[in-house]
Amino acid sequence: MDDALKQSIIDTTMALVSIPSVIGDEKAICDYVEERLLKRFSRDEIIRHSHSLLVEPGPRDPSKPTIGLVGHLDTVPDRQDGPVRIENNRIIGCGVSDMKAGVALKIELLERLDLENLGVNLTVVFYEREEGAYVDNGLHPLLENYPSLQDIDLAFCLEPSNNKLQMGSLGGIHATLKFDGRRAHSARPWQGENAIHKAGPVLNDLLALEPKKVVLGGLSFHEVMNVTMVEGFGTRNAIPDQLSLNVNYRFAPGKPIETAQAELEEFIDGRCEIIYTDLSPSGPVCMDNPFLKPVLDLDGIVVEPKQAWTDVARLALFGIQAANWGPGESAQAHQVNESCDIDLILDGYELFHRALTQMGSES
């Protein structure tokens, strides 16, 4: 890779990270990406839907497979202690790993690939509102409104994965466990019913739970269930009459939401009310997709299970097979002073360029 290309990729990443795009505030970054791509592509090749973009460079050849590059523009709230900067060969800034490094690669690939002579059709999606509730995700309306997306034969979600190919997607349930008691003075607890104490047996059972290993396609996923938030009401000298726990159940690919709900309900066994607040399906492991082979053949490629939820699962609902593959550092996602190694970003560009070019030569 020559120095000019390296600098361009770094500059693009820095520009993206310098545009605040906390979930719900994606207009400015969407404007930037759209304006930049319109320098190469026609208006007909770029569809804007709210603050999301669907890029379908033409002409489209129906004899070629269609490869999708998919990723979000938003970030979690900014928790950096300083400006966007480079230190020790790392870009430091909100969202650089999750996933503006991946967005930068998509822009650079669109600008530089010889698309006319590529052996695949390329569809690239930049979407809003990934970092929130499942039902608010900005990819879903694109999938519903633009049927051409269902022509994708294989998609890559550029979620932070350290340039490793991460297959599948855990499903996820968030539910409120509501314990009701009866208020009383703490000096006379027998006159009330302590909602916190009622939760004790459930918490003990959760503490005893071990991660459950599930092997799919030779990859080991782990099903886990944890309390992640607590909300209560009361005063220091009163028996509390309410307690709510948010429980998060992460389950393996292939398990239907209904089965996961039934497992949670069996675990709770009527000991409290369950209020479901977020239901996210799992995503399949598509190791047998024929268009994955050029990636699997890359020197040094590492294949892992995705021990998290991503939009691989949402794409699967629309019949699109997908895998996670991106340059960001997974351990940096959502961190204070989020950062990403520059070499990882540059290596990611080369990996994608080689894979897409190889797909072309084999078609």
Q: Which residues are catalytic?
A: 74, 130
Tokens of 237: 């000298």
Q: Are the CB atoms for 122 and 67 separated by under 8 Å?
A: yes
Give 3-state DSSP helix, strand, coil % of the chain, rounded to 5: 35, 30, 35
Query: What are the Cα distances from residue 40, in Å, to 50, 67, 105, 132?
Result: 21, 20, 16, 32
Q: Are the CB atoms for 170 and 253 separated by under 8 Å?
A: yes
d(CA 316, CA 333): 24
d(CA 44, CA 245): 49
Among 163, 200, 222, smallest CA distance to 343 is for 163
